[in-house]
C-alpha cells in the first residue's frame, strides 16, 4: 500500500509516526509552501522566512535519509495555493492508496482535513501528534467535573506522571512552584549573555529574497535574520541557553529592559512549536542541569513549568474549548486595533519598545506580550478577534493552538475566566517596577490624571469602574474593588474623563 504523507510546516520532526512508519521504497512525503497557509493572516516576514527555510532544510534531511520527498516551493508552477488542492494534484500524478497526515495544531485545518476523504475519494488517515506530553483527551479527562481549570494543578499532575523534579511523591525542594522568586527587576549595569544567532546560508538567502518579493506588504523586518533553521542548530540554541542563561532565568524572567529584547529567555519556542526540538529533551536538559548543580531550583522549575505545565495545559485547553473560544467576548469589546500596533509610532515608550522589537524580531517575551501589549489591549477594549489575529501574525512561535488560549483566556479574559483566575490588568506602576521603560516615556508614570499622566493609570481605573459588576464575584478582585470603593468621586470622574479622551484618540487613530 503506497501512502502520500503530508507533512505540515510545523511538523518538522522525523520521528512523527507518519514519517517514521513510512516505507521509503514506495511512500512519498509531500511538503508545500502554499499561499493559503502563509496569508490567512499576514504573518510576519521573518516568520514566513523562518518556516520556509526550516521546511526546505528538513526536506533535504529527509531526502538525505532516502525518503522520497515531493517538495513544492512557493513559486513552483505546480503550486496550487492550498493544501487540499496540492494533495489532490499529487494524488492525480501518482498511484497512492491513502493519504496520511499528522493531526494539525489548528482547529480550522483539522476540520478541513476531516472532510478531505469525501472530496478526494481516497482514504485519509489522521495520525496523532506524538510530540506533546499530554493528549487533548487526557486534558479533557482531567478537566471533567472541575469548576476551575487552573494550570497549577494540571502542572502538578504532569510532574507526577512524567516524574520530573520529583522525590518519590513529593516535589524536589518541597514546593511545586518557585514563581515568587522569579519577579526581580534587572539592575541597570547588568550584562545579559548574547542570544544565539546563525549565518544565513544559500537556502535561507533564497527564501529571504522570496519573502521580500512575494510578501512585501506583510508586517515585520527581514534584515538581521537570526533563526536556527536546522535541528542541529536548534539544539545549539537549547544547549547555549542551559549553559549561559538558565542559571539567571528564574529571577529575571519577568524583567523588561529597553534595548534588550532577548534577556535570559530560552527563545526555543520557535523550534518547539515547529517540531525542530521536542519538549521532552528541553525538560530533561533543564532537570539535568539542576541535578548537576549547574542551575538553581527556581530557574530550572520556572523553565520546566513553562513547557511541562503551561505549554501542555494551553494545548489541551485549546482543543477542549474550541471552537467557542475563538468567538468568546466576555467584556463585549469591539474597538479596532490601532495603527501604531504596526508601526510603533506612539509616545508610550513601553508600547513603542515592545512593538518595535516585535517588528524587528518576530519575538517578544511573555511579560511584554501579556503585561504591556496585552494589558493595553484589554484596557482599551480592543476587539478579541482582531487582537488574536495580530498576535497570530506577528510572532514566529505563534500557531493558533498556543496563541488563541493565551490571548483569549490570559490576555483579554474574553472567555470569562475559564483559563485565568482574574483579568491580567495593571496600572503603570507594574510596568515601572518590572522595566526601565518609564524613564524615557512621553508620559509620567507618577501622574494619575492629566495630559502627562501615564495612560495605563487612568485606563486601569476606567476598566475597574466600567466592569465592576462583572468583577464583583471574583475574589481575586475584591481588594481592588474595595480600593475603588474608597476613592473620591472627583478622582474617579477625572480618570474616567481622561480615559474617554484617550479612547476617542485610539478610535480615531490619533497619536497617543
State the Cα–Cα distance between residues 17 and 427, nearest whole angstrom: 48
Which pLDDT score is estimated for 410?
96
Which pLDDT score is estimated for 304?
97
Domains in the chain with CATH codes? 3-127 (3.40.50.620), 137-209+230-320 (1.25.40.80), 340-508 (1.10.579.10)
181: pLDDT confidence band, cut at 50, 70 and 90?
confident
C-alpha grid cell for residue 134? 499530554
C-alpha grid cell for residue 17? 509516526
Q: Is the pLDDT of residue 140 over 90?
A: yes
SS3 of residue 166 by DSSP: strand
Residue owning grid cell 485519509: 124
Q: Which residues contact 425 (CB under 8 A, 6 or more apart)?
A: 375, 378, 379, 460, 463
pLDDT digits (tens, 9 = 90+) for 241-293: 999 999 999 889 899 999 999 999 999 999 999 999 999 999 999 999 999 99
Residue 308 CA: distances (Å) to CA of 109, 136, 152, 182, 313: 25, 14, 11, 18, 8
Percent of the chain with pLDDT over 90: 96
Q: What angle do CA 331, 335, 336 make, to 5 degrees?
A: 140
C-alpha grid cell for residue 383? 476587539
Q: Is the pLDDT of residue 182 over 80?
A: no
Q: Is the pLDDT of residue 184 over 90?
A: no
State the Cα–Cα distance between residues 89 and 2, nearest whole angstrom: 16
Phi, psi of 71 (to 5 degrees): -110, 125
Phi, psi of 3 (to 5 degrees): -115, 140
> Interhelix angle for 136-143 vs 312-321, to 10°?
80
Percent of the chain with pLDDT over 70: 100
Of the candidates 448, 237, 412, the one whose C-alpha atom is nearest the C-alpha of residue 328 is 412
DSSP 260: B
Tell me what the pLDDT averaged over the chain comes to: 96
Of the candidates 414, 405, 423, the one whose C-alpha atom is nearest the C-alpha of residue 332 is 414
**Mean pLDDT value across residues 457-474:** 95
Q: Is the pLDDT of residue 1 over 90?
A: no
pLDDT digits (tens, 9 = 90+) for 80-127: 999 999 999 999 999 999 999 999 999 999 999 999 999 999 999 999
Which pLDDT score is estimated for 189?
83
pLDDT digits (tens, 9 = 90+) for 46-57: 999 999 999 999
pLDDT digits (tens, 9 = 90+) for 315-329: 999 999 999 999 999
Q: CA gyration radius for the chain? A: 24
State the Cα–Cα distance between residues 43 and 40, nearest whole angstrom: 8
pTM to 2 decimal places:
0.95
State the Cα–Cα distance between residues 82 and 113, nearest whole angstrom: 12
Which pLDDT score is estimated for 179?
81
Does residue 12 have a cis peptide bond before it, meaning omega lies within 30 degrees of 0?
Answer: no
Q: Which residues contact 332 (CB under 8 A, 6 or more apart)?
A: none
78: pLDDT confidence band, cut at 50, 70 and 90?
very high
CA dihedral of residues 179, 301, 410, 317 (deg, nearest 10):
-150
SS3 of residue 460 by DSSP: helix
Checking phi first, is residue 426 left (phi over 0); if not, alpha (psi -120 to 50) or beta?
beta
Which pLDDT score is estimated for 180?
79
SS3 of residue 171 by DSSP: strand
Alpha helices in 292-399 (DSSP H): 297-304, 312-321, 340-343, 349-361, 366-367, 375-379, 384-394
Amino acid at each position: 500500500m503506497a501512502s502520500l504523507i503530508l507533512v505540515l510546516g510545523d511538523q518538522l520532526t522525523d520521528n512523527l509516526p507518519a514519517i517514521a512508519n513510512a516505507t521509503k521504497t514506495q511512500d512519498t512525503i509531500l511538503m508545500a509552501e502554499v499561499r493559503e497557509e502563509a496569508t490567512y493572516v499576514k504573518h510576519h516576514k521573518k516568520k514566513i522566512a523562518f518556516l520556509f527555510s526550516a521546511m526546505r532544510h528538513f526536506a533535504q534531511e529527509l531526502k538525505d535519509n532516502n525518503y522520497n520527498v515531493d517538495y513544492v516551493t512557493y513559486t513552483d508552477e505546480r503550486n496550487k495555493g492550498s493544501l487540499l488542492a496540492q494533495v489532490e494534484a499529487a494524488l492525480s500524478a501518482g498511484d497512492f492508496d491513502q493519504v496520511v497526515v499528522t493531526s494539525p495544531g489548528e482547529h480550522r485545518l483539522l476540520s478541513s482535513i476531516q472532510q478531505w476523504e469525501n472530496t478526494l475519494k481516497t482514504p485519509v488517515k489522521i495520525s496523532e501528534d506524538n510530540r506533546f506530553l499530554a493528549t487533548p483527551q487526557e486534558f479533557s479527562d482531567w478537566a471533567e467535573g472541575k469548576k476551575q481549570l487552573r494550570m497549577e494543578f494540571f502542572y502538578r499532575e504532569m510532574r507526577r506522571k512524567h516524574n520530573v523534579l520529583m522525590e518519590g511523591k513529593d516535589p524536589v525542594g518541597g514546593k511545586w512552584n518557585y514563581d515568587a522568586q522569579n519577579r526581580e527587576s534587572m539592575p541597570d549595569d547588568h550584562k545579559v549573555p548574547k542570544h544565539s544567532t546563525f549565518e544565513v546560508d544559500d537556502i535561507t538567502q533564497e527564501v529571504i529574497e522570496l519573502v521580500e518579493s512575494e510578501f512585501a506588504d506583510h508586517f515585520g523586518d527581514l534584515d538581521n535574520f537570526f533563526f536556527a533553521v536546522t535541528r542541529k542548530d536548534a539544539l545549539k540554541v537549547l544547549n547555549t541557553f542551559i549553559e549561559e542563561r538558565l542559571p539567571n532565568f528564574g529571577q529575571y524572567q519577568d524583567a523588561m529592559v529597553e534595548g534588550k529584547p532577548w534577556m535570559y529567555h530560552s527563545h526555543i519556542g520557535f523550534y518547539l512549536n515547529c517540531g525542530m526540538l521536542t519538549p521532552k529533551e528541553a525538560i530533561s536538559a533543564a532537570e539535568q542541569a539542576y541535578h548537576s548543580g549547574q542551575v538553581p531550583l527556581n530557574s530550572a522549575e520556572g523553565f520546566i513549568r513553562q513547557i511541562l505545565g503551561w505549554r501542555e495545559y494551553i494545548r489541551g485547553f485549546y482543543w477542549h474549548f474550541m471552537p467557542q473560544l475563538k468567538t468568546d467576548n466576555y467584556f463585549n469589546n469591539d474597538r479596532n486595533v490601532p495603527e501604531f500596533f504596526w508601526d510603533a509610532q506612539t509616545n508610550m515608550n513601553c508600547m513603542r519598545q515592545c512593538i518595535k522589537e516585535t517588528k524587528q524580531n518576530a519575538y517578544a517575551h511573555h511579560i511584554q506580550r501579556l503585561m504591556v501589549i496585552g494589558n493595553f489591549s484589554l484596557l482599551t477594549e480592543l476587539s478579541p478577534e482582531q487582537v488574536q489575529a495580530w498576535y497570530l501574525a506577528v510572532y514566529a512561535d505563534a500557531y493558533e493552538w498556543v496563541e488563541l488560549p493565551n490571548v483569549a483566556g490570559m490576555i483579554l479574559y474574553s472567555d470569562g475566566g475559564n483559563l485565568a483566575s482574574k483579568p491580567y490588568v495593571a496600572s503603570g506602576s507594574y510596568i515601572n517596577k518590572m522595566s526601565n521603560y518609564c524613564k524615557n516615556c512621553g508620559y509620567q508614570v507618577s501622574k494619575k490624571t492629566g495630559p502627562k499622566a501615564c495612560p495605563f493609570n487612568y485606563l486601569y481605573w476606567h476598566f475597574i469602574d466600567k466592569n465592576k459588576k462583572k468583577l464583583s464575584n471574583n475574589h481575586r478582585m475584591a481588594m481592588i474593588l474595595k480600593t475603588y470603593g474608597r476613592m473620591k468621586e472627583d478622582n474617579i470622574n477625572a480618570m474616567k474623563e481622561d480615559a474617554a479622551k484617550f479612547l476617542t484618540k485610539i478610535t480615531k487613530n490619533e497619536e497617543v
